[in-house]
Amino acid sequence: MSGPAAHATGGASQTVMANWPTIRPRIEELYRWLHRHPELSNQECRTAQTIAELLQSAGFEVHADVGGTGVVGILANGSGPTVLIRAELDGLPVRETTGLAYASHEVATSDGVEVAVMHACGHDVHMACLLATAELLATRPDLWSGRLVVLFQPAEETGEGARRMLTDGLKGLLGSVDVAFAQHVMALPAGRLYLRAGPVLSGAASVAVTVFGRGGHAAVPQETVDPIVLAAAIIMRLQTIVAREMRPWEFSVLSVGAVHAGVSGNSIPDRATLEINLRSYSSQGRSQLLAAVERIVRAECAASGTPREPLFEYHDTFPVTVNNQEVTDRLGSAFAQSLVRGQVRELSRQAASEDFAALADGLEAPYCYWGLGGVTSSLFRDVDALPPEPVGPIPTNHSPLFAPDPSDTLELGTEALVVAALEWLC
């Protein structure tokens, strides 16, 4: 989009952001509180309650407990399109080692085990930016017309949240949505946005494979069918799938992240479980990976003479995130013309996965998902290089050391969401 409309968007966004210095201290304190008090997927009760209260005080119509702990805020302001912006609620079972004054010391129970909890993926940044955007736009209804939907989604890390909100009647609650947006803070230079059309995040699936042997004493292995040896054979053979079966231009990753078997050195167990993660940029690629995994596992079980067929349990499934070309082009133009700080760079395709696409597709809304730099620029030799080269190792998302710089990140993240919303609502 160019011409007078784009110019109007830029002027409106600058007017809205003129109030940022007023709310900045509160938003930064809110960010520190969110970082200090993370909650695991589907346990985000305190976070959701805090967000609902803040949205109500800003004048939003608030719907809580959508899909579990999800929160939806709706602000209707005359006729016009509906813009939806999503942020995530959940943290990760990671023990924080940043040493920050506002570091998390929270613990929670997951599958009966006590674990440390941390916002190691930056969802605290996303929530703070979206809440700031909601407040800023609510205070200037004279500058826009339409309907703003701010959605705080639970359980993104487990791939459940978007589908649960849809199953719980989200589409009926919202009706037609014209466009949907989400951003994600990344281990890239602060002061930069990263954007591209087409596929940006891979699709993913996880599968727990249990193979069954015949247990016994370690002194007489000939009387057993050893599932640990079997699991080792499977793991080594799985490494040939990407190298020898996938087309070189078909992005694909296969990783075995966990193996569980046995409890002592002098006993051979009767089963072993492998946790396998698969990623690809197409449904065809994912189907090919899954079929190859099942084929290899069954063949190795047959070669070992197992007494039972293997068990396959699929979970944590994420779709490919594919940015709409028209929406991305329009948004890129708005960013380039409207942002008072920061630069827009091309986002390289990411191997990570998430479920924003499931949410937007379920609402039949075209969407764009972009990257937000969160690392102090001085830690890179050249912030404009693609990809930018760090001076030394930089903790990435999901690291216990991951710590976006709020002073360089919250303002641009908020401004990006304001510009995106006003590009459609002005």
pLDDT of residue 4: 40
Q: Which residues of 272-294 are buried (b: 16+ CB within 10 A; e: fewer)?
A: bbbbbbbbbbbeebbebbbebbe
Please, where are the H alpha helices in 139-221? 161-167, 170-174
The angle, 0 to 180 degrees and rounded to 10, between the axes of the packed helices 325-338 and 4-17 is 60
Q: Is the model's pLDDT at 342 over the cut of 70?
A: no
Average pLDDT score over residue span 237-258: 94
- φ, ψ of residue 46 to 5 degrees: the values are -65, -40
Average pLDDT score over residue span 202-218: 96
pLDDT of residue 10: 78
Share of the chain above pLDDT 70, in %: 97
Q: Which residues of 147-177 are buried (b: 16+ CB within 10 A; e: fewer)?
A: bbbbbbbbbbbbbbbbbbbbebebbeebeeb
pLDDT of residue 341: 60
Q: Is the model's pLDDT at 181 over the cut of 60?
A: yes
pLDDT digits (tens, 9 = 90+) for 104-161: 999 999 989 999 999 999 999 999 999 999 999 999 999 999 999 999 999 999 999 9
Given a contact cutoff of 8 angstroms between Cβ atoms, the answer to whether 330 and 1 are in contact is yes
Confidence band, pLDDT 50/70/90 cuts, at residue 416: very high
Report CA-CA distances (Å) from 85 to 73, 110, 181, 183, 251.
Answer: 10, 29, 5, 9, 29
Q: Which two tokens stand for residue 77?
A: 């302001």
pLDDT of residue 316: 82
pLDDT of residue 18: 96
Q: Is the model's pLDDT at 8 over the cut of 80?
A: no
Q: Which two tokens stand for residue 334?
A: 């708005």
Bridge partners for 192 per DSSP: 343
Report CA-CA distances (Å) from 79 to 237, 365, 423, 426.
Answer: 59, 18, 15, 11
DSSP line for 88-110: E---BS----S--TT----EEEE
pLDDT of residue 384: 83
pLDDT of residue 80: 97
Helices and strands (DSSP H and E) totals, the chain: 11, 20
Which of 302-306, 381-385, 403-407 is predicted most confidently? 302-306
Report the distance separating Cα 92 and Cα 68, nearest Å: 18
Please, where are the H alpha helices in 325-372? 325-338, 356-362
Closest residue by Cα to residue 224 from 176, 261, 185 = 261
Confidence band, pLDDT 50/70/90 cuts, at residue 365: very high
Average pLDDT score over residue span 359-382: 95
pLDDT of residue 267: 97
Report the distance separating Cα 331 and Cα 1, nearest Å: 8
DSSP at 260: E
